[in-house]
Structure 1
Amino acid sequence: MWTRLGRTAVATALALIALAAAPGGALADPSPAKVRAKLVKLNEQADQLVERYNQATEAYKKAKKKYDTLNTELGRKDAQAKVLRQELATMAINGYQSGPLERWQGFAFQTNPETTLSSIASLEQLAQDRAAKVRAYEATTKELRDRRAEAERVLTETDDARDKVRGEKAKVDKLVDEQTKLLRRLGTFQTGDPNSPGIQYTGPASGNARSALQFAFAQVGKPYRYGGTGPGSYDCSGLTQAAWRTGGVELPRTTWTQWAWGASRRVPLDALQPGDLLFSNGLGHMGMYAGNGKMVHAPQTGDIIKVVDLDDYWRNRLLGAVRP
């Protein structure tokens, strides 16, 4: 009897262990609370990684733009150098065909002193012109060499930035996959509508802040996408940059650079005005104050651009504010 019960207990225990270990098993799935807690941690990690990815992307874009500009300048300088080389070659040929001796013979036996002096002046002017062209050629080729060295240095920076972007993107993609799975498990994943008409802003903002907020509210319902700068999707700093551009202010691209840009424009959190930029601790996320205790922002993967209450949760996460 005891043996049979013992075997039954063991079998039951083994069955429960197998059920818990089985993919999709009832005991294998953590509770919604644990899933949400894990999602919060993933979101915090993703915020930091996305920001680093954006920084690396901007570094690459700037380095590539600088390299392309230098390349264009190199092309122009090279063309100038070719023209100078041709002029010097022509002068050398002419000098060989009618050298100094022949020229001196030409005016040495002239009886008119004025003609002789004029010929000497012409020779001196020719020598000065030739010397000036040589100097111009040397200066142009030196600048060309310096520019080429600078272009090569920038190209190296560009390659480094590109490698950094690739590495950060791979990390972000992995986190995005994890976030997506957890959100789908919770049934809260939102794809958003890239063509969402948004909502109307009716808050207290005025002037260029109102223009910025009207734009931001018109994006409500569109999906969050890391690295997104519109028009169908945005990340947090991409949204604030695009919004304030319509308000006549050109913000830098990333959360970190927008915070640094606003070093002299910081405002206390208890003195917020509509349009102020709000930055989270760690600078992984940001939004825009809409007035009346509201914030508009592009939250994270699997979510949409939305307007939320600036409640205790958000206020406790805030590092500071900047007024563009």
Structure 2
Amino acid sequence: MASHRRPKQPSRARVTVLTTAAAAAVALGSQAANAAPSEKPSKDEVKSKVDKLYEQAEQATEKYNGAKEKQEKLQKEISTIQDNVARGQEEVNELRDGLGSMASAQYRSGGLDPSLQLFLSADPDDYLDKASTLDQLSGQQVEALKKIQDKQRDLAQQRAEASDKLKDLSSTRTELGKKKKEVQAKLAEAQKLLNTLTAQEKAALAQEEERASRDSSRQALTPEAAVSASASGRAGAAYSAAQTKLGSPYVYGATGPSSFDCSGLTSWAYAQAGVAIPRTSEQQANYGTRIYSQSDLQVGDLVFFFNDLHHVGLYAGNGQIIHAPRTGTVVRYESFDTIGGPFMFGVRV
């Protein structure tokens, strides 16, 4: 006869554990579902992060500019030294040829001075150090030998200097490469953030940026601003040159004439006024007379922002500057209040 036992029921403890686990799973699933949308940053959060990355990129850009300028300077110095060495060696060769002619004349007239013969087959520097042999040479020969000695010592010094500069150039190129990668990494990170926005959010950001540029330009061109923006001399000429570049895009490392970074614009503008100022913002900050009060600024003065002086523009009057702000923007007017960093001082060139 078949057994009719009741199936075994799960214990109350087991039911409790299973129920708790199921509830936890549901809760976690619900939290994940709710958290997913919040993982995507808002438009304003993206803009804030992107602006910070652009600021960091500009900091790296000024370091990049400094390394690039140093590289170009070293290359010119090395080229000059190498040209001097080549010319100096030609002079040495001519002097040696002259001594050879003397030796030939002596030989034809009855024999070669043994001391001169020794010189022609040895290092003149080493030979001239043996002062005891000098009395065996004619005055003309001694003078020629000393010229060769001085010239060779000078050439040795220049070759050593060129060697040191070549080493410096190599390390500068390495630094330049690192700074370039740093700038590109910051810009790539910013672009990655921008790519998380929808087409509508991107359009909204673009409109905000365009409105900011338009509002700044309108404020800078009020009658009051026009009066305060009167300028003369080279500062006025630099300011006028910068005005012709309104709307030109910001490109890191660019010095014009179609695109600029911040110090690229100021150095280009002053170059149009016939003044060669340094390339980077940090160098420009130490070029002229510092003006610490905004009320003492004149149109065309260089103005610096942020504690590390990584941003520079030209004073436009009425509490405005004309500058190349950052990646994604163009040369424009802007109020001191909207730069994003504190005004440090001005510099009158």
Give TM class, smaller chain.
Answer: 0.7 to 0.9
Q: Deviations over 1:2-53 (max 9, x none)?
A: x99x9699568537737866xxxx4432012222221232133223211111
Match of 2:69 in 1: 58
Is 1:34 the counterpart of 2:45? The answer is yes
Q: 1:255 aligns with which of 281, 294, 315?
A: 281
Tell me the distance in 1 between the aligned counterparts of 2:69 and 2:254. Answer: 13
RMSD: 3.3
Query: Rg bigger for which structure?
Result: 2
Amino acid at match of 1:40: D
Task: Report the AA paired with residue 296 of structure 2.
Answer: A
Match of 1:14 in 2: 29
Q: Which amino acid aligns with 1:43?
A: Y
Residue 209 of structure 1: which of 226, 235, 254 is its match? 235
Distance 1:189 1:252, change over 3 A: farther
- Name the residue aligned to 1:176: 187
Residue 249 (structure 2) pairs with residue 223 (structure 1): yes
Among 255, 260, 284, the alignment partner of 1:234 is: 260
Instruction: Mark the runs of 5 or more structure 2 residues left unpaired by the alignment.
Output: 1-17, 114-134, 211-216
1:278 partnered with 2:303: yes
Instruction: State percent identity of aligned pairs.
Output: 34
CA distance in 2, matches of 1:221, 1:316: 22
Q: What is the one-letter code of the residue matched to 1:220?
A: L
The total of aligned residue pairs comes to: 290
Q: Residue 142 of structure 1 aligns with which residue?
A: 153
SS at match of 1:260: coil
Aligned to 2:293: 268
Matched, 1:290 2:316: yes
Offset at residue 303 of structure 1 (A)? 1.2
Deviations 1:161-209 (A, max 9, x none): 11110011111110011223445635246999xxxxx999853223322
- From 76, 88, 96, give the equivalent of 1:85: 96
343, 346, 349: which one aligns with 1:318: 343
Question: Residue 47 of structure 1 is aligned with which of 49, 55, 58?
Answer: 58
Question: Which letter maps to 1:241?
Answer: S
Equivalent residues of 2:92, 2:151 under 8 A apart: yes
Deviation of 1:97 after TM superposition, in Å, equals: 2.8
Q: Distance in 2 between matches of 1:189 and 1:137?
A: 70
Distance 1:53 1:273 in 2: 30
TM-score (norm 2): 0.73
Contact 1:238 1:253 in 2 (8 A): yes
Secondary structure class of the residue paired with 1:95: helix
- The answer to whether structure 1 residue 67 and structure 2 residue 92 are counterparts is no
Match of 1:246 among 272, 276, 282: 272
Task: For 1:214, give the aligned amino acid.
Answer: S
Which deviations, in whole Å up to 9, do the C-alpha atoms of 1:102-139 show, x marking residues without a partner?
A: 9xxxxxxxxxxxxxxxxxxxxx9x92222211111111
Structure 1: state its 5+ residue gaps: 103-123, 193-197
1: CA distance, partners of 2:112 / 2:76: 54
- Report deviation, 1:292: 2.0
Distance 2:249 2:344 in 1: 25
Whether the 8 Å CA contact 2:292–2:344 is kept in 1: the answer is: no
The answer to whether the 8 Å contact 1:267/1:323 transfers is no
How many angstroms apart in 1 are the aligned matches of 2:270 and 2:138? 61
SS at match of 2:286: helix
Seen in structure 2, the aligned counterparts of structure 1 residues 75 and 15 have a Cα distance that, compared at 3 Å, is farther
CA distance in 2, matches of 1:273, 1:183: 38
The residue type equivalent to 1:266 in the other structure is I
**CA, structure 1 residues 268+94, in 2 after alignment: closer, same or farther (shift >3 Å)?**
same
- Please tell me whether the aligned partners of residues 336 and 343 of structure 2 are also in contact (alpha carbons under 8 angstroms): no
Q: Could you tell me how far apart the structure 2 residues matched to 1:56 and 1:238 are? A: 14
